[in-house]
Structure 1
Amino acid sequence: MDIRTLRYFVEVVRQQSFTRAAEKLFVTQPTISKMLKNLEDELNCTLLIRDGRKLLLTDTGRVVFERGQAILGEFSQLESELSDINHLHKGVLRLGIPPMVGMLMAEPISRFRQRYPGVELKIAEFGGLTVQQAVSNGELDMAMTALPVEEDSSLTILPLFNHPLCVLTPRTAEWEGKTSLSPAELASHPLVIYNEEFALSQQLMRLFAEHDVKPRIAVRSGQWDFLAAMVQAGIGVAILPEPICQRLDRQNFAGSRCKASCAGSWG
């Protein structure tokens, strides 16, 4: 039994006529007659009895008719909901955003909500590597991470924007006038950096390895404001995206810049 056969049967009962049902469904009368005969053969029972010009339901036919109406109603609702989802009228979008770029997403999310008010956003705030893996596992629909992303045939990568990275240091005489720092110079100072789950942390470790230097990690954290506080307290230097550095009080910090990219990925 399929949904089309069930629809034919219900319409015949409603119209009390094979001819009118065929016209309503835009099919031929022999098509409907054949489909209903196949349905009776499949169920091994009689569903309709002709009484003159009337079509009478058997007990079995009445059950199939009543349940069939309910099934067709549910199927129609399912089609409507799927159409809403496919056209972004409603649904849920699971989005992964690393904390270090979260502040950049307020305006894009606002525009998305204005355009698709029926779509609920569920945002997971974890490091870039974690949200990237979550997309691969099907736990998230889309995520943002730092470039470059390791090749993965199951993910589609779309570069979104470029922002410089800031080497954030205390505003002391030691750092005044510094405009750039080499990996070796960075490694000679205690570093306060993001946790291993962040793509930026992985990139920094790769950079140090390429220059054959071993960094001195003092503190790891997933919160940029905590890392900035550690810098202000003189515990070490941090490497943060420029939009974060711009939120900080420049009277308390100094620093230089380097380039980094951000991308969106989805599976």
Structure 2
Amino acid sequence: MDLKRLNYFITIVNNKSYSKAAEKLHISQPSLSNAVKKLEHEVGAPLLERSTRKFALTDAGELLYTRATIMLSQMDIMNKEMKEVIVGGKGEVVLGIIDSLKTWLPKLIYNYKQSYPAMVFKLFDVLSVEHVKQTLQTYKSHAIITNQLIYEEDIDSIPLYKERLVAVLPQEHPLSKKTTLSLADLEQESFIISTEGFQTRIDIINAFKEEQLKLNIQFEIDRFETAVSLVRNHLGVTIVSENYVMEPIDKTVIRRPIDHPFLERTVYLAYMKNRHLPVAIQQFLQSVEEHFSTNKPL
């Protein structure tokens, strides 16, 4: 079965339009229609309903679309793996990360590049659980370092370490006089929290519910950096990873520990179980695991 025709067919279905698909594929609409007719002849059945104004697939079309999508995805994955095998130690490490890794990741990458100086690192922010799964399963990343535990048969989630969540306040805030805070101390404060889909948000909300307290949410953000900036400008208080604010931030904000057992999170290294990875990338992932298995400080 011709792979190009299958790709044409999938593109038509995804766009629900011959004209849009032709534009995306940079071919003429008649050529696209002709390719689909040849594919139907090869299959031995119509793939698209032609008797209605609404775009629809036949039963044969539904089956072919499902199977062809998986097959072409696997072909794309194979091509990526083959390219990585060929380049060996001269490729790139594509790594999803969370904000709090700045205390240890740069040092680990520095040590790694002493052995693999030609490897290029592409680092990007990890958002929701779905974002983690999607980037791994489509091979858009080699690994993710995240505080999300991923429940998927094809993904390994290796626990690296635990870290506490701490409160961040403006320097002159009345609560700054206390060495340790309770959640009740923060109940009436203008609160800055992660948007939907972040594990940190879930942990904070669950902790407040457990204490039967309400959160006064005034800002929702994607990055700890934004949260701290809002605190710095006296727009509220927030709770972030202790490692994000481990190093001195500046004199305009302070951090305080919170007395609550729920406010702790685990950081995981997640990657595809059966994906072939070049030795150079395997070595990097191994170095991450070994860094914490030997109880080295963060």
TM-score range with shorter-chain normalisation? 0.5 to 0.7
1:86 Cα deviation (Å)?
A: 8.3
Deviations 1:170-210 (A, max 9, x none): 23362134233333443332211223343322322333344
Aligned residue number for residue 119 of structure 1: 119
Identical pairs, percent: 19
Asked if the contact 1:128/1:198 (under 8 Å) is kept, the reply is yes
Write out aligned runs for 1:84-95 (5 A): 85=85, 88-95=88-95
Distance in structure 2 (CA, Å) of the matches to 1:228 and 1:244: 10
- Call closer, same or farther: CA 1:223–1:150 in 2, change over 3 Å: closer
1:69-95 CA-to-partner distances (Å, cap 9, x unmatched) read xxxxxxxxxxxx969838952333321
- For the 8 Å contact 1:168–1:256, the answer to whether it is kept is no
Matching residue of 2:140:
139
Distance 1:221 1:239, change over 3 A: same
Q: Distance in 1 between matches of 2:168 and 2:268?
A: 23
> Residues 89 and 239 from structure 1, CA distance in 2 versus in 1: closer, same or farther, beyond 3 angstroms?
same
Q: How do 1:24-35 and structure 2 match up within 5 A? A: none
Kindly provide the amino acid, as one letter, of the partner of residue 249 in structure 1. Answer: D
Alignment of 1:37-186 (within 5 A): 85=85, 88-102=88-102, 104-127=104-127, 129=129, 131-133=131-133, 134-146=135-147, 149-172=149-172, 174-186=174-186
Amino acid of the residue matched to residue 202 of structure 2?
Q
Q: Specify the structure having the higher radius of gyration (Cα).
A: 1
Report the secondary structure of 2:117's partner residue.
coil
Matched, 1:260 2:265: yes
The range that moved more, 138-147 or 204-213, is 204-213
Residues 190-209 of structure 1 correspond to what in structure 2 (within 5 A)? 190-209=190-209
Matching residue's letter, 1:183? L
Q: Which sections of structure 2, spanning at least 5 residues, go unmatched?
A: 1-80, 273-298
Number of residue equivalences: 186
Change (3 A) 1:254 1:242: closer
Higher strand fraction (1 or 2): 1
**Aligned pairs (5 A) from 1:178-257:** 178-245=178-245, 246-250=247-251, 252-257=253-258
Separation (CA, whole Å) in 2 of partners of 1:203 and 1:264: 19
Contact 1:145 1:199 in 2 (8 A): no
1:202–1:254 distance in 2 versus 1, CA, 3 Å: closer
What whole-Å deviation, never above 9, does each CA across 1:9-53 have from its counterpart, x for those lacking one? xxxxxxxxxxxxxxxxxxxxxxxxxxxxxxxxxxxxxxxxxxxxx
**In 2: Cα distance, 1:82 partner to 1:173 partner:** 57
Aligned residue for 1:172, secondary structure, equals: coil
